[in-house]
Structure 1
Amino acid sequence: MTDVKTPTNPLFLREEELRQGIELLFFAYRDFTAEPDAILAEYGFGRAHHRVIYFVGRNPGMTVSDLLTILRITKQSLSRVLGQLVEEGFITQRPGLQDRRQRLLELTEKGTALERQLTERQRARFAGAYRDAGAEAVEGFRKVMLGLIDEADRARFPLRGPGWR
């Protein structure tokens, strides 16, 4: 009995398939960010502002250090964006309870409203794509996305509910 060997280059690993995946990710990101970009422009904000608003909204009370870890930007870059968001009343900062040097970040009502407005269209886009693709494809997409991000960040995405492996 001979062992059946798996081909070393399955169809989905061919050059053309890989390049198409890269292009699909590019076009998806472009279209995914287009509506929020237009809203942000009304405030004189950019994508860095969006990322800060989004992650502070998802993690109320997070530290500046934690935000720097997620965003992987310099303190100087974050300081400019965060300073503008604080100054314009979208985010508040308060000292940490155990370490008063820490700055804990939270969205204000104004920040929460903007975060909802920015995320609403993106959620709708995901919901439609997920609905059209079906549960098996969504699980496959999740696995691919987890495979694209650095291993250290994968722990942020624990398994969830039925169907999530």
Structure 2
Amino acid sequence: MQHAGLRDGLPAPAGGENLLFLTDEQIRRGIEAMYFAYRAFTSDPDLILDEIGYGRAHHRALHFINRDPGLTVTSLLEVLGVTKQSLNRVLRALIEDGLVDSRVGRRDRRERQLRLTDKGAALERRLSEAQRARMKAAYRNAGPQAVAGFRQVLEAMMDRDTRAQFQSLLDAPTAGARG
């Protein structure tokens, strides 16, 4: 059921007269800003990953396993939205290199639960430190209203299923998260 004033699950602007109309040029600039911001956001971890022969998929796996120790392979597949074959390649490398520990599930022996080893946690911390510092500096510089607006824009870009998945992630405890 859709709540009055909500469009695609997001609050409608206060008063229809305050709708934001953007030109194609402004939209293009926003898209380009996203590309350049993402490039800057990933640049520091990319240097570290390149040194050890890993890619961004390895970083994302480390991030979400760190966030939720005991995460199942099936849950990680859902969060990352990658193929089983692609994730298996990434996990195999992380396990063989001693960064991730994979154990049989306690409740369901068919499940594989994932945890970072101490070595994996240290790498995840190293990869994420610069990103956290970059986000903190940007948030501080932009101010609380801009931060709230930025998050609204990001969430508005997500389709309904992705937004629900993101919200469930926000609602979950963050046992492994730091800082």
- TM-score (normalizing by structure 1): 0.88
Greater C-alpha Rg: 1
Q: 2:159 is matched by which residue type in structure 1?
A: D
1:115 aligns with 2:132: no
1:97-108 mapped onto 2 (5 Å cutoff): 97-108=106-117
Q: Kindly tell me: are residues 66 and 6 of structure 1, through their superposed partners in 2, closer, same or farther at Cα, counting changes over 3 Å?
A: same
Give structure 2 stretches of 5+ with no counterpart.
1-14, 172-179
Superposition deviation, residue 5 in structure 1:
6.7
- TM-score (normalizing by structure 2): 0.81
1:90 aligns with 2:68: no
1:9-24 mapped onto 2 (5 Å cutoff): 10-11=20-21, 13-24=22-33
Task: Give the alignment partner of residue 39 of structure 1, picking from 48, 56, 60.
Answer: 48
Residue 152 (structure 1) aligns with: 161
Residue 163 (structure 1) aligns with: none
Taking the aligned partners of 2:94 and 2:35, their CA distance within structure 1 comes to 28
1:124 aligns with 2:133: yes
Taking the aligned partners of 2:96 and 2:16, their CA distance within structure 1 comes to 62
Superposition deviation, residue 18 in structure 1:
1.0
- Aligned residues with identical type, % of pairs: 51
Q: 2:106 is matched by which residue type in structure 1?
A: L
1:6 aligns with 2:17: yes
Task: Describe the SS at the equivalent of 2:36.
Answer: helix
Superposition deviation, residue 153 in structure 1:
3.0
Q: Deviations over 1:95-120 (max 9, x none)?
A: 11110010000000000000000000
1:81 aligns with 2:83: no
Superposition deviation, residue 7 in structure 1:
7.7
Task: Give the alignment partner of residue 60 of structure 2, picking from 43, 51, 62.
Answer: 51
Taking the aligned partners of 1:34 and 1:24, their CA distance within structure 2 comes to 15
CA RMSD of aligned residues (A): 1.6
Q: 1:6 is matched by which residue type in structure 2?
A: E
The number of aligned residues is 153
